[in-house]
Amino acid sequence: MNCNDINLMISEYLDNELTKEKEVLLFTHLSTCHECREEFKQQNTIQQEVKLHQKEVGVSFEERIFSSIRYQKESTTRRWITKQAPAYINYVLGIVIIVITLISFFQFRSIKGDLNYLEVRYENALERILYQTHQINLMMNNMPAIQITTPPADM
Amino acid sequence: MQKNGIIDFTLIYNRFKKPLFNYISKVMKSDILAEDLAQNVFMKLYDNLDRIRNSATIEVWIFRTARNEIFGHFRKKKNLVEETFEIHEEKILTSNLLEDYEHKELIDFIEAELNCMDRGNSEIYYLKEYSGLSYKEIAKIMEITQDIVRSRLFNVRKKLKDAIIKSGRS
């Protein structure tokens, strides 16, 4: 195991990417090699410096974010439909509409059927009345005429 | 969003605000820009929280979105003069710190070195150190191989160490 390989392993170790087996190899080598130990110390120090020296986020930055969120939240509650409806509601509504349409369709057909039936009955009744009127007319026309005579004036 | 959505958002925000802000700041070399872009990332997080529920992927989502914001910013960069003035102003402020060589801290030196490096290298270094993402996750975000991630980080570390040794610091 040469020191170049070890340097790569040090880098991987600092990245938490070294397997446990390789970690053992690394530390075994470090225990015997002064130069690599120095390398390890230096790299570790650099990493600590970078990780520790992170700036704090500004107060105004936080305020901006949370006031944007509050504004967004308020504008959504002002909307008429406030809650986001689950997707299945659309399917339920669709089915309901289809069912109502079908029911209406069948109702319409049965009403139409009833109307047709009534229409036929009406026409039949009308026909009968006409026929009867015609018969009565015939009868009246065929009856002997009744002469109305005036009684003799000598009474 | 329901009340516990705000709580979830706040928890995630608190966990990532520092690493995210610092990462963007180092890559953009500007705190002002970093605040703007970080704000965009958090607003997008808030809008999409319901969809990113799997906590294992939140880290990846946040830093991937951050990189998208960074690239988006570079694409939109129109008024170059205004931009560079802002950054130039900030650089003047930070370089004043370095003038006092006697009291120059190691961290300032490290940051100056990283500042001089090719952005592609310094970016991946800061991403790794601040985000804590794995080689695999970084490779996924940057669309490169894990080997490239590994070797770039190794190279940055080597350069940093060599520069520090050269400057005679302990």
Residue ranges per domain, chain B?
Answer: 3-166
Q: B106 vs A43: CB contact, 8 Å cut-off?
A: no
Expressed in angstroms, the distance from the first to the final Cα of chain B is: 53
With a cut of 0.85, is the ipTM above it?
A: no
Chain B residues in contact with A12 by the CB 8 A cut-off are 150
Instruction: Extract the tokens encoding A93.
Output: 């509504």
How confident is residue A82, by pLDDT bands cut at 50, 70 and 90?
low
The answer to whether residue A48 neighbours chain B at the CB level (below 8 Å) is: no
* Per-residue confidence (pLDDT) for residue B100, from 0 to 100: 46
B19: nearest CA partner in chain A: A54
Bigger pLDDT: B82 or A4?
A: A4
User: Is the pLDDT score of A28 beyond 90?
Assistant: yes
* Per-residue confidence (pLDDT) for residue B81, from 0 to 100: 47
User: Is the pLDDT score of B114 beyond 50?
Assistant: yes
Cα(A25)–Cα(A9) distance, integer angstroms? 9
* Per-residue confidence (pLDDT) for residue A86, from 0 to 100: 78
Alpha carbon of B107: minimum distance to chain A alpha carbons (Å): 6
Touching A: B residues 50-89, CB under 8 Å: none
Fold of B3-166: Arc Repressor Mutant, subunit A (1.10.10)
The stretch B80-84 carries a mean pLDDT of: 51
Instruction: Extract the tokens encoding A32.
Output: 């015997």
User: Is the pLDDT score of B101 beyond 60?
Assistant: no
The answer to whether residue B141 neighbours chain A at the CB level (below 8 Å) is: no
Task: List the single range of B32-41, B45-54, B96-105 with lowest mean pLDDT.
Answer: B96-105
* Per-residue confidence (pLDDT) for residue A134, from 0 to 100: 92
* Per-residue confidence (pLDDT) for residue B98, from 0 to 100: 46
* Single pTM value for the model: 0.68
User: Is the pLDDT score of B102 beyond 70?
Assistant: no
* Per-residue confidence (pLDDT) for residue A81, from 0 to 100: 59
Contacts 24+ apart (CB under 8 A), A135-144: none
Question: Residue A82 phi/psi, 5° resolution?
Answer: -85, -35
Nearest to B58 by CA among B130, B8, B109: B8
